[in-house]
Amino acid sequence: EIVMTQSPATLSVSPGERATLSCRASQSVSSNLAWYQQKPGQAPRLLIYGSSTRATGVPARFSGSGSGTEFTLTISSLQSEDFTLYYCQQYNTWPLTFGGGTKVEI
């Protein structure tokens, strides 16, 4: 099973600043990585797939990059609604696995 490790567990930033979230895979997953956002009390929402392709309706301030074992989700200018939880997920190899999450807080 591929282990996905997200860092940091908690990221403290100010509104308007840039946030950089990391996701590392225990072995190569090529570009087969997705990012999800989960707000408190809500279901997760797809943000990014294919490492860098934004899902429908996702604002341009969200961008993803990386391949192999190292991936990054960047939020270019944090809005109040962006302070929440983010998960990465690899879909290169069965079983599908998620990272432990990064909480972005003020």
Partner 1 sequence: EVQLVQSGAEVKKPGESLKISCKGSGYTFTSHWIGWVRQMPGKGLEWMGIIYPGDSGTRYSPSFQGQVTISADKSISTAYLQWNILKAPDTAMYYCVRVYGSALIWFDYWGQGTLVTVSS
Q: What are phi and psi of 68, to 5 degrees?
A: 80, -105
Residue among 13 and 96 whose Cβ is closer to partner 1? 96
CB of 3 to partner 1, least distance (A): 12
Segment interacting with partner 1, rule: CB under 8 A, options 17-25, 36-44, 65-73, 74-82: 36-44
CA distance 55 to 70: 20
Q: One symbol per residue from 3 to 32: x for binding partner 1 (CB under 8 A), - otherwise; what is it?
A: -----------------------------x
